[in-house]
A = this chain, B = another copy of it.
Amino acid sequence: MKIFEILKKDPKSNARTAILETFHGKIRTPVFMPVGTRATVKGLLPKDLHEAGSQIILGNTFHLMLRPGADVIQKIGGLHKFMAWDKPILTDSGGFQVFSLSEINSITDDGTEFYSPYDGAKIKLDAARATAIQNQLGADIIMCFDQCPAYNAPQKEQEKAVERTLCWAKVCKKSHANDRQLLFGIVQGQTDNNLRQNCAEELIKMDFPGYALGGLSVGEGTAQMLSTVRFAAPLLPENKPRYLMGVGTPVDLIQAVEAGIDMFDCVMPTRNGRNSLAFTSQGVMRLRNAAYIDDPKPLDSQCLCYCCKTFTRSAIRHYFNVGEMLGPILLSLHNIVFYHNLMDKIRENIENGTFANWAAQALQSPAYARSQITDDNDTK
């Protein structure tokens, strides 16, 4: 069995369906991966994620190394046991969080030193340690430690970040201690095509089992993000999985699949859900809105999730209005199902050879309209 087996290619775009085989099972791609930063997808029990159709979820090295600590999780039996999730898990390396969440003390070619956002402690993190920690956590897919500069950082800094990312990728590959975990390389280079191309080519020489595009959806804007993905995705080996990190809206996902992306993660469904925003077949809805106070309809009559089969808009609005946990819980659940349903439709249309037509229509549909969505930086 190959790690990544392509099942079907779309004749009119770079979209494809495939099976990605991991130590904890197979994943059908294109796939959306709910974000479980601190060993939990916020507010949702593992059984609810199973029922929602989640195939793989994320954990985060940066957060888990600080709380509860990689040694603790290893002692408990690894991240799968710790968070009670027996399907595949992917951990990000923590690179993104070091640069987005922490006060940095120093960055050198050897690694980073930063102050913990939990208690101010001075912490060192470098490529070897990020890999060792991910080995301890035991996720099925782990990521190289990368440098992710601000989107508007000077050209020189972007170049340096690519250089370091490549240098660190070599260290990660060398440090990686087992063959149960797939180590993916991360392409940096912001919206600079030359930098992206150079970074991709160098990483490909190192021969990773999968590749990610990092450093996108960090403020550069949707058009720039998309043009970079369209340029960079085809640079990556066709026979290996391509992962677009931290993206995005439903429309972003459809367009990135067209460009050849197989894997996505984003806090958008859960973070927006906690803030009362629901993705529905009729477009996004803000459930705090007083208009729903006595609305007896289900949130989305076309959705079969537990929230939509069980509660009225009126009740959901009430829970948000009085600050009851059930509001965030129900909309997180629904939004994750919405994202999974979107990926189901994408895979189905690729399989049927109807993806291009479907995508053209979908991009016009109110269900996937960008309006009102909080498209902020994904800091996880």
Residues of A that sit less than 8 Å from B by CB: 38-40, 42-43, 45-47, 63, 67-68, 71-72, 75-77, 81-84, 293-294, 296, 306, 310-312, 314-315, 317-319, 321-322, 324-326, 328-330
Contacts and interface: CB of A to CB of B under 8 A. Distances in A.
> Can you list the 4 inter-chain pairs with the closest CB atoms, starting with the nearest?
A43-B325, A68-B318, A84-B310, A40-B326
8 contacts: A39-B315, A40-B326, A42-B324, A45-B306, A72-B293, A72-B318, A82-B318, A83-B315
A314 B76 contact: yes
A79 B276 CA distance: 22
Given A84-B310, A325-B325, 20 more contacts: A38-B318, A39-B315, A39-B318, A40-B326, A45-B306, A45-B310, A45-B330, A47-B310, A63-B322, A67-B321, A67-B322, A68-B294, A72-B294, A72-B318, A75-B314, A76-B314, A81-B312, A82-B314, A325-B328, A329-B329
Nearest to A67: B322
Contacts of A322: 38, 63, 67
A262 B294 CA distance: 36
Contact of A312 (B71, B76, B326): B76
A296 B77 contact: yes
Contact of A68 (B296, B306, B314): B314
A75 B43 contact: no
Nearest to A333: B45
A324 B68 CA distance: 12
A43 B332 CA distance: 13
Contacts of A67: 318, 321-322
Contacts of A321: 67-68
Contacts of A326: 40, 42-43, 45
Contacts of A324: 38, 40, 42
Contacts of A77: 296
Nearest to A83: B315
Nearest to A77: B296
Contact of A293 (B68, B83, B312): B68
B325 A46 contact: no
A296 B43 contact: no
Nearest to A315: B82
